[in-house]
Amino acid sequence: MADGVLGSLPPAAIELAYLVAAVFFIQGLRDMTHPRTAERGNKLSAGGMFLAVLATVLYFEILSPLLLAAALLIGGSVGVWLAVSVETTEMPQLVGLFNGFGGGASAVVAGAELVDTVDPATTASLSVDLTVSAAIAGIIGSATLFGSLIAAGKLHGLVGDPPVSGKAGQALQGVFLVGAVVAGGFLVVQTGPLGGDPLSAWVPSYWVLVLGASLFGIVLVYPIGGADMPVVIALLNSMSGLAAATTGFVLNNTALIVAGTLVGAAGLILTFIMCESMNRPLLDVLFGTMGSGGDEDVEDIYEGSITETSPEEVEMLLEVAERVVIVPGYGMAVAQAQHAVAELAELLTEDGVDVEFGIHPVAGRMPGHMNALLAEADVDYEQMRELEEINPKFSQTDLVIVTGANDVVNPSANEDENSPIAGMPVLEVWDAGSVVVNKRSLSSGFAGIPNPLFAKDNTSMLFGDAQQSMQELVSAYKENR
């Protein structure tokens, strides 16, 4: 790269800018661990990235100023448009796409650096450090890109069941992964050009690597069901960070190494937290079968044991309740009922009722999905409680309202050791005095199993769309205040 506007400055100048950016990244990540400081953390991280990009652009003459400005304008405009136009309920799909874009960019940049480093007029070999880093970045980045596209498609309902699954699907995964690794190995061990042209040896093997890794990413994510999507999103996030960090080694770019490592480590930690929340090993998530969709008709199982209720009857329970816990799920997100739920909570709080929200780590389609939805509806962060904090309080709770949740409140996890979700930490709502479950029907959740909670003596079913049901409940409560 040629020197740019700041090219006359010592190399330490760019490293200092990267160091400041890294401090911004670290503090931003720290702030994002708590809802109250998450917004500040996001701004700090964005500021750090802006500084790193600006310093790189000014120090190195990578592209012509006009072309670079056009690229930044287009990319920034697309980012702003997505941030403004995408609904909060569709945020998991957007996060999946962002993960994919990050991985894809890493694979393309690593490949471009290989091409740029090789001079066809010479017979010089590429260094092992460069080829190893490029191979790793290519494999992880390509798998992340296409795996994320499949994940986003499944979350949005555009991708259905895989044409090949089970042992045949796993065999395909092995074939594509081995193919990518073999191509990467050829890239690394190739010590000289073929036919006097370095590009004829190194570059084709890299793009074969990219093809194999891309197909691997597709067949890896395709069979995974919706119940496991929070884990998949976190894992893909980690992979995008690792791809970026490896590309940083390809480019010898400190800022990219630091940022990618932080994202990769944080994503991996979150992945294992999600697995622990589901009591499932990561390999079971990637190669297991749970979460294929809940298509089984289980209404006959509950015949004669279901108590149906209405918004008016639930309002009567609210009149005498001193403590209420609301448990949101993905059904609330789909129906966009968070504002009605928040209004109900506000009314109850004004009337002296102790209201809290029980949030399961894997409720929704990505970690923190329910928290983000409730925050959008101006629910106080202090009312949101994690599973470990809220479970001991259910026995002192008068009424629990479950809206759009299923598997995360399934007592089979505690009561049936043969259940697919046995041992999974769940919200033990059945310990409350009364439970109202708001669902469209008695259909299974993503785990594809019945929920005995629906038939318990202290449970009533409020059937209907979450938004409509909650709005009717709010109206009934207002009328009788």
- Indicate if 380 belongs to the active site: no
Structure tokens at 94: 């957007």
Contact 431, 394 (CB under 8 A): yes
Contact 104, 150 (CB under 8 A): no
For residue 319, give every residue at least 6 positions away whose Cβ sits within 8 Å of its Cβ, in sequence order, or none. Answer: 480
Q: Give the three-state DSSP class for 157.
A: coil
Question: Where do we find the tokens 């809290």?
Answer: 356
Length of the chain: 481
Count of Cβ atoms closer than 10 Å to residue 355 Cβ: 20
Residue type (1 letter), 65: P
Give dist(CA 467, CA 471) in Å, integer.
Answer: 6
Helices (H), 190-335: 198-221, 229-251, 254-278, 282-287, 311-320, 330-335
**DSSP strands (E only) in 323-406:** 323-328, 354-359, 384-386, 399-403
Give dist(CA 293, CA 227) in Å, integer.
Answer: 8
Strands 60-61 and 323-328: unpaired
The alpha-carbon radius of gyration of the chain (Å, integer) is 26
Contact 148, 96 (CB under 8 A): yes
For residue 337, give every residue at least 6 positions away whose Cβ sits within 8 Å of its Cβ, in sequence order, or none. Answer: 403, 404, 465, 466, 467, 469, 470, 471
Strands 384-386 and 354-359: parallel
Structure tokens at 54: 């600006």
| Residue from 116, 407, 416, 431 carrying the catalytic annotation | 407
Distances (CA, A) of 252 to 17, 43, 402, 445: 15, 26, 51, 47
Helices (H), 391-435: 412-415
**DSSP strands (E only) in 10-117:** 60-61
To the nearest 10°, the Cα dihedral for 15, 18, 24, 25?
Answer: -130
Give dist(CA 237, CA 216) in Å, integer.
Answer: 17
For residue 350, give every residue at least 6 positions away whose Cβ sits within 8 Å of its Cβ, in sequence order, or none. Answer: none
Catalytic residues: 407
